[in-house]
Structure 1
Amino acid sequence: MVDLSQAMTPAMVAKTLRNRGIMISERTLRERARRIGAFREIGKAMFFMPEDIEALLEAAKPAQKPPTLSANQWTDKDTANLRATLIARERRK
């Protein structure tokens, strides 16, 4: 049988997060949980298990930015392409 002693309502989770300085309303918490499917529901009662909260926190991580082209990765071909683009713009003027 599943241990329900760790089950938390959205109100309990929102309060726990607020106590730790993470300001989120119960409504926003419910919306995000529904969006990613990280919750349990029996009838109209929504609740969270520890793995649901972990999934919510994982989904809250910002997306990684794609790596940018650094100067040491710039090639002669990139320079030639840039030069050709600039020359073509000048000719259009």
Structure 2
Amino acid sequence: MSKPFDMELFLAGVLTGSHATRRRHVRQAKIIQAAIAERWQRDAPWGWQRKHLAWFLEHRLERCSAATRYYYSLTVQLLSLRLQKTWKFNI
């Protein structure tokens, strides 16, 4: 039996800002994680590729407002930073 991945601990090193901002990033990262796990069965961000995050931004958020897509793109940038990748996304 494996322990569920702790997204809050994963992002702790790169999170800055107010408590509400940090909470929002963690909540959004968990939503991203769940969507990628459902689609590709990749629970931990260590196994993610650029295409997984690009898919989330392009397809899962296609009916969301521009503001929502923007805030999720900030969370994706934090995930990329934490993974030490230089991924760029067109939002």
Same fold (TM over 0.5): no
The higher-RCO structure (CA 8 Å, 6+ apart) is: 2
Structure with the largest fraction of strand: 1
TM-score normalised over the length of structure 2: 0.31
> Considering only CA atoms, is the larger Rg found in Structure 1 or Structure 2?
1
Structure with the largest fraction of helix: 2
